[in-house]
Amino acid sequence: MKKDRIKEKSPNHELHIIMYLFVTVFLVITVFFSAYVYLYAPKTINSSYNMRQQNLERKVIRGTIYSSDGEILAEQAMNHDNVEVRYYPYKEMFAHAVGYSTRGKCGAEYAGNIDLLTSNAPVNERLQHEMAGERNYGDSIITTYDTALQKTAYDALGAYKGAIIVIEVKTGRILAMVSKPDFDPNTVSENWAEISADTENSPLVNRATQGLYPPGSTFKTVTLLEYIRENPGTYNDYSFNCKGSYTYGDTRINCFHSSVHGKVDLLEAYEKSCNSAFANIGTLIDPDSLNKTAGELLFNKELPFDISSGKSSFVLNSGSGEEEIVQSAIGQGNTLMSPAHMALITCAIANKGVLMKPYEIERVENYRGTVIKEFSPEEYKRLMSEEEAEILKEYMTDVVENGTGRKLKDLPFGAAGKTGSAEYGTIKGNSHSWFTGFSNPEDPDISVTIIMEGAGSGSDYAVPMARRIFEARGSR
């Protein structure tokens, strides 16, 4: 009988296992650390609780912030008491766009904080300053902001509460961003208690990115997209007889000012912003599918901004009641979104369905003007097909040619857009004024999105404001 042979293990077998285990752990730690440095370190360093910032400020003179056209937006300066302060030449005009660097940070001051506290001055110069116990000059950031366009938007909004955001469609460059009520960043520190306690006006809130509003009729673009998707070959066959209101179950939806639009097809319902027709459309489409489309358009998701932004909300689903169905279809009910989010959807429509990542920092230079790094346009994601975007662009162009955006009709380069009058609060008739659109539909240039709190009709108030901005850009 043969003896069973027992295979002897190599004496190094256990050592190999331990070695592989340690190598694996090391690789996992390395990958995690690299990912942390790339994704989370900037945010951690930017935290107002991080003491490293104070150490950097003792070694580096905070860098200068410039507009894209070379204007100084923020710099270190000496005040009348010979004390070093952060100086903002344009005061309230760039309050939310550029932000402030005391009591925490926001705007470009936050987005570029690490670069502003980093010195890439010549090595020999840095060594000399360090040996002499002197601070080095921090790097400068050149933003995408256009001072002339920012002034136009700021002046146009006037005394209204609200926001305006202007984005270059094909690149994602943020050219202007205004929010009111505002504040003077030069005095924000000494007036902090008063400003932060003003809950009625909330001047520290950047309404362009953080403000959440019912979108009203501007949301009809989303409802329209869903109807087109569910009826790809027959959507043009839609017909509705508007009598000024529409009743579904126990819910009655009125057209703005109870206007009677008569018999309308899908295009006419959109260009005239017929609430009755779109409430009817809301009953014809699948709520879960509309929810899915809204999600693809970034509802209930973090927006791709480097500055603080609110998350828009859309809650309709197959379990929703009759009132929620028709209200959601016309941008009311529980739907909320920010002007910045509306601007991104508009940009995607203008850019053949592709959304470019919005950005506000063009490049970083050392204080002598040597470029340290540059930021290029970057595709974020496709929000819709090119064919869908083209259809929506045609509908938005018709709004300007024949509908509620007619006050833009005679612009030499043309425009496309959608107006909105979004009801809010408990007093019937109170509404925010909305407009979102873009110039030169044949070769889109900029998108302009406007919210005016409590102003009323979008066609009466927001559209003329958009015209001023389109003309300011188009005249150069």
Residue spans of the domains in the chain: they are: 216-359+378-474
Q: Say if residues 446 and 474 touch (Cβ distance below 8 Å).
A: no
Task: Provide the 3-class DSSP secondary structure of residue 158.
Answer: coil
pLDDT over 80 (residue 293) = yes
What does the block give as tokens for 420? 């909105």
pLDDT at 458: 86
| Mean pLDDT to the nearest integer, 152-168 | 97
pLDDT-derived band at 21, boundaries 50, 70, 90: confident
State how far the Cα of 461 lies from the Cα of 423, in Å rounded to an integer: 15
Name residue 419's beta-bridge partners.
435
pLDDT at 2: 47
Average model confidence (pLDDT) for the chain? 91
Whether the model clears a pTM of 0.85, i.e. scores above it, the answer is yes
Q: Is the peptide bond before 181 cis (omega within 30 degrees of 0)?
A: yes
CB 260 within 8 A of CB 243: yes
The average pLDDT across 6-18 equals 62
Non-local CB neighbours of 449 within 8 Å, separated by 6+ positions:
164, 165, 166, 339, 340, 342, 343, 346, 435, 436
User: Tokens 């921090």 identify what position?
Assistant: 138
Report, as an integer, the average pLDDT of 187-207: 95
Confidence of residue 45 (pLDDT cuts 50, 70, 90): low
Per-residue confidence (pLDDT) for residue 10, from 0 to 100: 57
Where residue 11 falls among pLDDT bands split at 50, 70, 90? low
Instruction: Identify the CA nearest to 449 among candidates 438, 441, 460, 464.
Output: 438
Q: What is the end-to-end Cα distance of the chain in Å, rounded?
A: 101
- Assess if CATH 3.30.450.40 describes domain 216-359+378-474: no
CB atoms within 10 A of CB 19: 11
Percent of the chain with pLDDT over 90: 79
30 Cβ contact partners less than 8 Å away, ≥ 6 residues apart: none
Range in 31-40, 103-112, 194-203, 209-218 with the lowest mean pLDDT: 31-40
Tell me the pLDDT band of 426, cut-offs 50, 70 and 90.
low
pLDDT(47) > 60: no
365-406 pLDDT, tens digit per residue, is 999 999 999 999 999 999 999 999 999 999 999 999 999 999
CA angle 148-146-415, nearest 5°? 80
Q: What angle do CA 7, 12, 15 make, to 5 degrees?
A: 125
Cα–Cα dist 362/263, whole Å:
50
Would you state the pLDDT for residue 36? 54
Q: How confident is the model at residue 80 (pLDDT cuts 50, 70, 90)?
A: confident
Residue 213 predicted with pLDDT over 90: yes
Site of tokens 């997209």: 225
Alpha-carbon gap, residue 315 to 430, rounded angstroms: 23
**CA distance linking residue 243 with residue 321, whole number of Å:** 24
Contact 135, 59 (CB under 8 A): yes
